[in-house]
């Protein structure tokens, strides 16, 4: 991967993560009112993990990219809490994997607030390509 590809990867990760903080975007897209963003909670996670390899992004710190330590720790915590929330939703998929249920869930609001802080940290000191 050359430096421009790594920078595109960083930019894509930022764009996807920022979407987790945007409840209006989630409401519109998850309820079929906008086709611009991921159409569901599941698709949002697939984009971050499957399409943009968020796990690999975290592992790439210090090898391909340099992420400031406060941001890096926040990203790791986000990864953990998002995975925990994914399991929580999937345990009762038919009851919990509904846009209105997720968007009104205090646990989801905590993740959204965490992501808002991550976006602020990222904007202050974005990851660098090594």
The reported pLDDT for the residue numbered 1 is 82
How much is the pLDDT for 64?
94
DSSP of 117-130, one letter per residue? HHHHHHHHS--EE-
Residue 93, pLDDT score: 80
| pLDDT at 78 (0 to 100) | 98
In angstroms, rounded to a whole number, what is the distance separating the alpha carbons of residues 111 and 113? Answer: 5
Q: Which residues contact 37 (CB under 8 A, 6 or more apart)?
A: 19, 25, 26, 28, 29, 44
**Residue 22: what pLDDT?**
95
CB-facing half-sphere around the CA of 48: CA atoms within 13 A: 22
Q: What are the structure tokens assigned to 41, written together? A: 């909670």
Question: What is the domain range of residue 64?
Answer: 3-129
76-90 confidence digits (pLDDT tens): 999 999 999 999 999
Q: What is the pLDDT of residue 36?
A: 87
Counting beta carbons within 10 angstroms of the beta carbon of residue 33, is it exposed (0 to 12), middle (13 to 18) or buried (19 or more)? exposed
The total domain count for the chain is 1
- Given a cut of 50, the residues of the chain with pLDDT beneath it are none
pLDDT of residue 44: 96
């Amino acid at each position: 991967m050359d430096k421009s590809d790594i920078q595109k990867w960083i930019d894509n990760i930022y764009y996807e993560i920022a979407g987790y903080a945007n409840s209006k975007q989630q409401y519109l897209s998850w309820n079929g009112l906008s086709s611009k963003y991921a159409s569901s909670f599941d698709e949002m996670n697939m984009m971050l993990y499957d399409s943009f390899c968020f796990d690999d992004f975290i592992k790439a710190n210090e090898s391909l990219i340099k992420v400031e330590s406060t941001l890096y720790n926040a990203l790791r915590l986000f990864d953990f809490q998002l995975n925990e929330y994914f399991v929580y939703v999937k345990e009762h998929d038919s009851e919990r994997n509904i846009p209105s249920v997720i968007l009104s869930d205090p646990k989801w609001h905590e993740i959204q607030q965490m992501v808002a802080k991550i976006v602020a940290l990222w904007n202050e000191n974005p990851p660098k390509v090594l």
